[in-house]
Amino acid sequence: MSLRFRLNLLVTMLSLAFLLAAGVVLVRDTKDSIRERVEAATRVTVQLLDTVIVSSAMNPSLGPTHYVLQDFLKSLGYVRSSRIELYDYFNAPLYMSPQSTFKSEVDPPAWFVKLVAPKVEVVTRRIRYGSLIITSSAEGSIREAWSGFHQLILIGVGFFVLLNLLVYVLLSHALRPVQHILRAINQIEQGDLTTRLPSFSLPEFDRIGSSLNQMAVSLDAERQLEENRQLTQLIQAHIEDERRSLARELHDELGQYVTAIKTFAVAIVNKSRDKAPDIESSAQTIVAAANHIYDGMHNIIRQLRPAAMDNMGLVETLRDMVAGYQSQHPDIAIQLQVSGQFRPLGENLNINVYRIVQEGVNNAIKHAQAKSITVALQAQTEGLLLQITDDGVGMQMCSVDQSQHFGLLGMRERVQALHGQFKVMSLEERVNGTTLEVRLPLIPSSIE
């Protein structure tokens, strides 16, 4: 059932209720008016005829009372709202008043007569040599009332039809924007986020159109953002694949060459130790350089792809990373705090958490001038909670453009790609230092 039909039906029902109420009031007033009119006419008629009867009785010379009344009634003729009957001593009719001819062309329906007809009143007078019967009659008044009531019915029906036509036309015009709005909503539902609504003359519909346009813009931006996140996640996955492949190549290919160089250099040292001290010294230099290259290569491999990730899982890999940072920066207290029980979380989640911790600790070491860095990882029922806290110089978050800080931006994108929450707290929320807080949702089976 459409809105226009409902509103039109509502107006129709209200109009019918109004007409019905007006009809009830009008019928009631008409009935009261007819009753009072008939009662008044009957009283006047009875008083008049009583006067004639009394006068006849007091003046016997005028003749018998029934003949006097007969002559008077014949000269009187029709009396409105009363029917007069005169009978002699033997109940033979002497006089019958004529029928009312007032609005005789009007024929009111039986239901109307039943509604407005007053109670019939009969007055009987016993006279010498006969009887007089006066009966109230509302036929003329009813025909007169029906004539006016019928005209009002025609006017009311005409007004009712005209009102409904006007309401239908006005609603059709006023609700025309609804069709545009519904069509736009359907197009947006089907994925066409370029749909826009024009301005409408009615302020309510115009606000709806503006809100719908703004929603379409927001949805389009959100879809593009989600597409960008998916693209970023895909790029990060390819980067991790390339890092894994490069780490494997470095370990397998370059590692073998460096090991071979070191082996050959050691052999030269052993053979030239007594015979050629200069050659032995050069060979020792080659061995030291090979060891340095080997250590640097392993550091690069660890940065590209932590080997412990595939074998020992996320927590042990983080311990290994924190231990590496601690050995490289002995003047900074770096510690890892882990709570909760972990099941395998999946390679995608593992590597993203690892990269977030790696980036966060690097930022604290390079920029925070911190003396203490704490990495806290907690397995909760609803997910993972990661906090990286330092006691460094902190930063004014209100004046920092995070879109220009690629470290923060990269961590935020990783977290949002995993449908998590990323928050940076510094100075405003803390006395000093900075805290990175990351919340990541997990499948319930991932945590014991």
User: Tell me, what's the pLDDT at 133?
Assistant: 92
pLDDT tens, residue by residue, 37-85: 889 988 998 999 889 888 888 888 888 888 888 888 888 888 888 889 9
User: Which tokens sit at 148?
Assistant: 């006016």
pLDDT tens, residue by residue, 375-396: 999 888 888 999 999 988 877 6
132 Cβ partners below 8 Å, 6+ apart? 49, 53, 69, 84, 85, 86, 87, 124, 125
342: three-class secondary structure by DSSP: strand
Stretch among 49-53, 72-76, 295-299, 343-347 having the lowest mean pLDDT = 343-347
pLDDT tens, residue by residue, 80-109: 888 899 998 888 998 998 877 777 788 889
pLDDT tens, residue by residue, 129-154: 789 999 988 888 888 888 888 888 88
pLDDT tens, residue by residue, 225-284: 777 777 777 877 787 778 777 877 777 777 788 888 888 888 888 888 777 778 888 888
Domains of the chain: 3-173 (no CATH), 313-448 (3.30.565.10)
Strands 122-127 and 93-96: unpaired
The closest alpha carbon to 195, from 182, 207, 205, belongs to 182
Average pLDDT, the chain: 83
User: Is the pTM here over 0.75, yes or no?
Assistant: no
Q: Report whether 407 contacts 362 (CB < 8 A).
A: yes
In angstroms, the CA 31 to CA 23 distance is: 12
